[in-house]
Structures are given as structure tokens and as C-alpha cells.
Amino acid sequence: MLNRLLPFFLLLVSTRLLAATGNSTVPRLVITTDFPPLDVIPGGAGHGPAEKRSDPDDIQSMIRLLLYSNDLEIEGLVASAGTFANIANKQNLLDILDLYDRVDENLRRHDSRFPTADRLRAVTWQGRSGTWGRPVEEVIGEGRDTEASEAIIRIVDRPDPRPVWVGIWGGPADVAQAVWKVRQTRTPDDFQRFLGKLRLFMIGLGDKTGQDGSGQWLLDTFPELFVIVSQETYTGMFAQKSEWGSLEWLNAHVREGHGPLGAFYPRSGFYPDSPGMQEGDTPSFLHLVSATRGLNDPEKPDQESWGGQYVRRDSATNHWYDGPGAESVRKWLPDIQSDFAKRADWMLPTAE
């Protein structure tokens, strides 16, 4: 009898330990985003004041991220340079958190792990403006620390064995500045320990034409740094013409009748004449979401995942690039969108 009960006793003990100490398997996540104002004018429209003209896709991706904040430990939201005015403005992020604040109690009825809006406001950081299109020597170095770069250092330094995943939607300058400062101020061994905890997922920043020169500097300077570079795979989330991402689908499942946060999901990405889902930045955290469901190990980007599948071109580096391409994301859209629709329903007070 005792032998039969022992496994159940051990499971009970381990469950209570996790409840007391936190789930060590929940991914730690920082997002850097060239986040526009909520009344953004799609850049492809060709009109409007510079500070409002941008790509609305960051808002699309952020709304989805907030609906998965129970499965991810969001430790930083960084406003990096963006919009046609090349401005980093964390107030834009705080504005969308105000909308999240109006639905988060409904979300917690389904999972108590959804963070409060105040918890997310407390980890929203200001990055540098004016970095877009600049070479690395003009965006990182002495005197270029930011609220965001200092916060990233503190996050990585925490006594937590889990790696820190950084989804880079906008320019990587604030992440690069953190790496630069730690290399300048610590011993080589301490720097390697810092670098070893970072996991970067760059969206469309792997070539010389990235948003600023610091992304390529990270790749050229640190072959040991874990970096996933999605140069084309992320387009698997461009689903405007799909039954799973058309404007009609979005209206039915997210934008209409789903509360104030869903109502702000933009009708299009950069080009307003191609309405629908264009969440190019979303794969930077979808691979972590599918990992929490047991589909993949995020430390092995060559495995299939909701965020795509990648290959290491050079065994001398820890850099990963597009493998099968957009199809490695697109194939999962029925699963991805069905789960998204379910969570959008949770925003409503009467959702089951």
C-alpha cells in the first residue's frame, strides 16, 4: 500500500514546492518594441504626422502577448526607437497597458497567473530615440546607457538559473548597450556568465540593413551568443488572405464584441489596403508558448515550433537562421488562432 501511495506523495510535495518557489519552467521574457501610439496611422497610407505614422503590427503582436502573459514571465517591456519620427516612447506601451487593466480581472478568472497591469507597468522601460538607420558606433558606447539598458542588466543579473529571452521587434540598441557595458565593466568570466544567460530572437534584423547597426554588431562580435534571426520565417504570421487571419476572422474573434483591448487590435499592418493579421513580431514569443505546451524545446531552434524552425549555418557560432521558412509557422495557424480566439473570449466577464 505504501509503495503505491509514494508516487502520489512525491507529486504532492513537488507541486507544493513549485507553488512556494515559482514555476522554474515558465520562460522569462523581455520585449523591445518600436511601439507606436494607439491611434497609429499605417505607414503605407502615405499621410499623417510623422509621430503617428508607423507599422501597427506591434500593437497586433502586443495584444496577443498580453493574452499569453499567464504562460510567460514578462520581466521587461522596452520602448525602442520607431515610427517615422524615429522616437522611442514608453507612454505608448503604458497606454495599451491601460486597456489591459480593463480586462485583466476577467482574464484572472481563467488563470490567476495573469499579471496585473501595475505589475507590467513597473517593468516598462524607456529606450533610446534616434537610433534607426544609424551605424553601431553612433548608437552604443560610453554615455549611451538608457533606462532600458540598465534594466536589462539587472534582469539578467538576478539570481535565477533560467535564461532571459529577449524578443527584438524594434531596434536592438538597448540590448546591445547592455552587452557593451557589461563587457567594459566586468571580468571576462563574469561577462561570459552574463552573455550565457541571454537568448535573443531578432525579427528581420539579421543583415546589414537592420533597424540599426547594433544587431549586426552582436552577431559579428559574439559567436557564442544565442541568437535566432528570423529574416523571412516571421512572415508565416502574415495571414490577411487566410481563413485564419482575414479581417473577417479578426472582427469575429478579437476586434468586435471582445472588450476594450480587443477593439484596439489594428485592422491592418503597414499597408491599410491589405487588411488582416500581419503579426510579424509574434514568432519571437510563440516558440516559447508552444514550448509550455510540450511541443518543442526553445533551446533547440531546429525543432518544430509555433515560432518556426531554424538552422545553425555555422557550427562555430550559436546563431540560428531561417530553415523551412514561413511555412514552418503558417502550418500551425489553425492551432495558434484557435487558442488566440479562446483567450480573446476570456476578456469578457461572462466567458466560460
pLDDT in tens, 339-348: 999 999 999 9
Residue at 220: amino acid letter: D
The residue with greater pLDDT, 210 or 98, is: 98
pLDDT of residue 82: 74
Domain ranges of the chain: 25-346
Residues 6+ apart with CB under 8 A from 11: none
Band (pLDDT 50/70/90 cuts) for residue 350 is confident
> Integer distance in angstroms from the first to the last C-alpha of the chain?
40
Distance of CA 225 to the CA centre of its chain: 18
Alpha-carbon gap, residue 177 to 314, rounded angstroms: 26
pLDDT surpasses 50 at 74: yes
Going through 250-344 in order, the beta strands assigned E by DSSP cover 310-311, 319-322
Q: For residues 81 and 65, what is the distance between their CA atoms, to the nearest angstrom?
A: 20
HSE-up of residue 103 (Cα within 13 Å, Cβ side): 25
- Which tens digit of pLDDT belongs to each residue from 242-262? 999 999 999 999 999 999 999
326: Cβ–Cβ under 8 A, 6 or more apart, which residues? 232, 233, 234, 235, 236, 238, 308
- C-beta of residue 115 within 8 angstroms of C-beta of residue 96: no
Tens-digit pLDDT profile for residues 7-38: 333 333 333 333 333 456 899 999 999 999 99
Class of domain 25-346: alpha beta
Which residues partner with 124 through β-bridges?
A: 77
So what's the pLDDT on residue 351? 57
Residues 178-199 pLDDT 10s: 999 999 999 999 999 999 999 9
Average pLDDT on 132-152 reads 96
Each residue's pLDDT tens digit, 286-307: 999 999 999 999 999 999 999 9
Is there a contact between 278 and 240 (Cβ–Cβ < 8 Å)? yes
Question: In the Cβ-directed half-sphere of 4, how many Cα atoms lie within 13 Å?
Answer: 1
Grid coordinates given for 236: 508565416
Weakest mean pLDDT among 11-25, 87-101, 160-174, 182-196:
11-25
pLDDT digits (tens, 9 = 90+) for 39-59: 999 999 999 999 999 999 999
pTM across the whole model: 0.92
